[in-house]
Amino acid sequence: MKGKLYLIPTPLGDYPPAEVLPAPVLARIPTLRRFFVEELRTARRFLSAAGLKGRIDTLELYEINEHTDPVQIEAYAKLLGEEDAGLLSEAGLPAVADPGAQLVAIAHKLGVEVVPFVGPSSLMLALMASGLNGQSFAFAGYLPAKTPARREAIAQLERTSARLGQSQIFIETPYRNDSLLTDLAEVLRPTTRLCLAADITCPDAFIRTMTIAEWRTALKKGFTLGKRPCVFILMS
């Protein structure tokens, strides 16, 4: 019988897994010994807390992150189906805005059963809390890093939102949060609404939806987002 690939969510903050993950997820994790992970250190810490303490050295951990060569990920194909395995993101849902999606695609090509588990999603939690359109929305991933291209992408998202009445969700590398927020404030129309949802589920979570005119006022008063994991949602 072919092994399955279990997609295992992880907490968004520093919480014991039992406080965040459902019982079926916590019951499955200790039965696995092979994991594909985004970052070895955080994966070991999570797996130890999730029921594998004292057994970490017996596990097979294979890294899949933004630096992993696609050829290496393809090579992992020979490991799929031999036995049950788990896929972990560093935080939240694996394979959503996450390099693990490449492994899931390979699993489907091989006919390996993919089993997604319930867990925290920063994107959906942000949308829930934003007060913006949860009936029609799109996820644009990361915007371009260079300012001119990023500003054009922002303008395009606003046009798409206005045309479709659709919430536009996107994310950024934390150290570029404030430069992105500056571009948003300068490019978007004053009446466009923008939600910032940072450190979701954490004690210092910040979730606020305001018009661009209001965000401009906040920025003039010294507001900064800082280097925090953040989800951005705009709606025109």
- pLDDT digits 0-9 by tens, 171-183: 999 999 999 999 9
- Where the chain has pLDDT below 70, the residues are 1
**What pLDDT is attached to residue 15?**
85
**What pLDDT is attached to residue 13?**
86
**What pLDDT is attached to residue 235?**
98
* Residue 121 CB contacts under 8 Å (≥ 6 apart), including other chains: 9, 92, 93, 96
Q: Is the dihedral of CA 159, 162, 168, 170 positive or negative?
A: positive
For 33: left if phi > 0, alpha if psi spans -120 to 50, otherwise beta; the answer is: alpha
What is the C-alpha separation between 143 and 175, in angstroms, rounded? Answer: 14
Q: Residue 211 corresponds to which amino acid?
A: T
- Phi, psi values for residue 6, rounded to 5°: -95, 130
